[in-house]
Amino acid sequence: MSNNIILSVRNLRKWFPVRLGFFQSLLKGKKLFVKAVDGINFDLKAGEILGLVGESGSGKTTTGRVVLRLIEPTTGKIIFKGKDITNLSQKDMRSLRRKMQIIFQDPYESLNPKMLIGDIIGEPLRIQRMGDPSEIEEKVLKILEEVDLVPPEEFFYRYPHELSGGQRQRVAVARAFVVEPEFVVADEPVSMLDVSIRASVLKIMLNLVKEKNVSFIYITHDLALARHICDRIAVMYLGKIMEKSSSDDLVKNPLHPYTEALLQAVPVPDPTAKRIKVVIKGEIPSPINPPSGCRFHTRCPKYLGDICREKEPQLVEVEKGHFVACHLYGEK
């Protein structure tokens, strides 16, 4: 894996305005925002797989879409291959789309039901003008074979409704990789598939990542899966990164109480194995009005008192390459 940084995210925020009725807006007196992503920093190396892990509502999907500029950031910087793309026009972004792709979560919603599979996969090639019709067809047939949709000539002329869920997601993977991107975001790409076929789809996807040396952000709520496929993991909670390190180090030596709690949710093969219980209570708070100080303090089993409630912890390097935002380790 190269040490070259392909993507840098600095102080990235995405706040969605909340629409209120006329009388509600008068009573509130100020605008409200859903603070989906609220000041995060990370780097992605060339050829690296970075996992974004956390509960639903933690801001993982929004982060993935914002770094691809599918959603406009509120503030912060997105630097791709040394170029600041934060404020690029859509016209200028269009030429970058070939290098930056996404695999969506739902294979039932992400494919146009009125288009043939060959046309769905070939569409980005046509938009990017990557060959004449015969060359595009050849590339589509080749990628169909690479994602194990064989014989490719047969799948080329099918419609999405004629495929199973696993086959549809393979089409989505093929569409993302057919333009030979350098950076791909995968948003929980196997979470809607049957357990029996998840492993085969993941294997196909990861083989393409390694063969084509693609930098990859893998979004998931499954920490065990993230450890298995990712080089590094960043744990998100309520729009913030709470901890990030190499996958093995994060699992073997979790520092943040939230990370410990996520690990407790991972099943173990031995039901008699002794585990230190880290229990968090309640649901994730509203991102419209997140808790003051540390956002996790309302659910934290290691709550320290006023400092957690009043002061926001900064992400600090506790060990080499291991960062955590927690007053248990920061300056008190």
- Between 46 and 30, the more confident residue is 46
Q: Which of 98, 179, 116, 185 lies closest to 142 in space, CA to CA?
A: 179
- Between 268 and 119, the more confident residue is 119
Q: How far apart are CA 81 and CA 4, in angstroms?
A: 9
Around 138, how many Cα atoms within 13 Å sit in the side-chain half-sphere?
Answer: 6
Average model confidence (pLDDT) for the chain? 91
**Which of 56-70, 241-255, 270-284 is predicted least confidently?**
270-284
Q: What is the DSSP string of 150-217?
A: -SHHHHHT--GGGS-HHHHHHHHHHHHHTT--SEEEEESTTTTS-HHHHHHHHHHHHHHHHHTT-EEE
- The hierarchical CATH code for the domain 5-99+181-324 is 3.40.50.300
Residue 162: CB atoms within 10 A of its CB come to: 11
Position 319 confidence tier, pLDDT thresholds 50, 70, 90: very high
Antiparallel, parallel or unpaired: β 232-237 and 49-53: parallel
Q: Give 191-197's long-range contacts (Cβ < 8 A, gap of 24+).
A: 191/105, 191/220, 191/221, 191/222, 192/105, 192/106, 192/107, 192/108, 192/165, 193/107, 193/165, 193/166, 193/169, 194/165, 194/166, 197/164, 197/165, 197/166
Position 278 confidence tier, pLDDT thresholds 50, 70, 90: low
Decide if pLDDT at 199 tops 80.
yes
Decide if pLDDT at 3 tops 50.
yes
pLDDT of 31 reads: 82
pLDDT of 192 reads: 85
H or E element that contains 265:
none
pLDDT of 22 reads: 53
pLDDT of 332 reads: 45
Q: What are phi and psi of 238, to 5 degrees?
A: 55, 45
Mean pLDDT of 5-11: 97
Decide if pLDDT at 44 tops 50.
yes
- 288: which DSSP letter? S
Position 34 confidence tier, pLDDT thresholds 50, 70, 90: very high
Q: How far apart are CA 67 and CA 69, in angstroms?
A: 5
CB 3 within 8 A of CB 55: no
What amino acid is encoded at 274 in this protein?
A: K
pTM listed for this prediction:
0.92
Domain ranges of the chain: 5-99+181-324
Paired residues of 8 in beta bridges:
43, 79
Please report, to the nearest 10 degrees, the dihedral formed by the alpha carbons of residues 308, 40, 109, 88 taken in order: 150
Decide if pLDDT at 104 tops 70.
yes
Mean pLDDT of 202-228: 94
Instruction: Tell me the per-residue pLDDT of 108-129, one tens digit each, with 9 for 90 and over.
Output: 888 999 999 999 999 999 999 9
pLDDT of 2 reads: 53
Instruction: Tell me the per-residue pLDDT of 131-172, one tens digit each, with 9 for 90 and over.
Output: 999 999 999 999 999 999 999 999 999 999 999 999 999 999
